[in-house]
Amino acid sequence: MAIDLASIQELRDRTGLGMMDCKKALIEADGNIELAVELLRKKGAAIAAKRSGKETAEGLVVSYIHPGDRVGVLLELNCETDFVASNDQVRQVAKDIAMHIAALKPLYLSPEDVDSKFLEHEKDILRAQLADSGKPEKIVNQIMEGKLQKLYSEVCLLKQTFIKNDQITIEQLLQETIAKTGENIKIRRFARYEVGA
């Protein structure tokens, strides 16, 4: 199937990936742009998985001050080389994540970082809510797991839906950036400040 230049350019604009990667994805997807985006996302996840063991000793710290000067964020983003750290696209992703943190107020980076006391408190509340449901224990456990995943998507930065694209999480945004740069990229830490909070 012949793929026209306009389709390749549209896919490139949407994904930020190279012309050849976009052309290959479109050929594989028989010209379907939505399917090609999905294929490239899967490829990006595979690249991210391969790069996940690479050391991230370089990086950058970005700040975001929300208009009105009442909320500010500091974010440390780590990568493998200083070349990628100075890449405009990586810097923009870091700034977007800092703005996201200002808006959505995550408490933790990932589910592994959630404070055990906080988690037990939330589990106690969930157990109390489900205690009188009359459902079998297996079903109660499934409901608990679903509610915990929802909690993680609210309080953990990596699991939150990205404020600028509700089709992906922050974790998926990082995977897409890893696929574009070819380097492992991680959020090391962040701090959110709010006047009077």
> What is the average per-residue pLDDT within 50-78?
85
The pLDDT of residue 17 is 66
Which runs of consecutive H residues, i.e. helices, occur in 16-158?
Answer: 19-28, 33-51, 82-85, 88-104, 116-130, 137-155
100 and 68 in one domain?
Answer: yes
187 and 170 in one domain?
Answer: yes
pLDDT per residue over 125-173, tens digit each?
A: 888 888 777 788 788 888 888 999 999 999 999 999 999 999 999 999 9
The CATH number that applies at residue 190 is 3.30.479.20
| Cβ atoms of 78 and 188 closer than 8 Å | yes
CA nearest 177: which of 85, 75, 60? 85
69 and 102 in one domain?
Answer: yes
pLDDT: is 169 or 33 the higher one? 169
* Complete edge-to-edge strand list for the sheet that includes strand 58-65: 58-65, 71-79, 185-194
| Cβ atoms of 174 and 79 closer than 8 Å | no
The pLDDT of residue 172 is 93
Domain count, the chain: 3
104 and 163 in one domain?
Answer: yes
Tell me the range of 1-5, 15-19, 192-196 where mean pLDDT is highest: 192-196
The CATH number that applies at residue 38 is 1.10.8.10
**Is pLDDT above 70 for 44?**
no
125 and 39 in one domain?
Answer: no
44 and 12 in one domain?
Answer: yes
User: Model's pTM, two decimal places?
Assistant: 0.71
Cα distance between residue 186 and residue 40, in whole Å: 20
Report the DSSP beta bridge partners of residue 5: none
180 and 92 in one domain?
Answer: yes
The pLDDT of residue 170 is 97
84 and 161 in one domain?
Answer: yes
Range of the domain at 122: 115-154
104 and 67 in one domain?
Answer: yes
182 and 94 in one domain?
Answer: yes
147 and 122 in one domain?
Answer: yes
Q: Which band of pLDDT confidence, cut at 50, 70 and 90, is reported for residue 53?
A: low
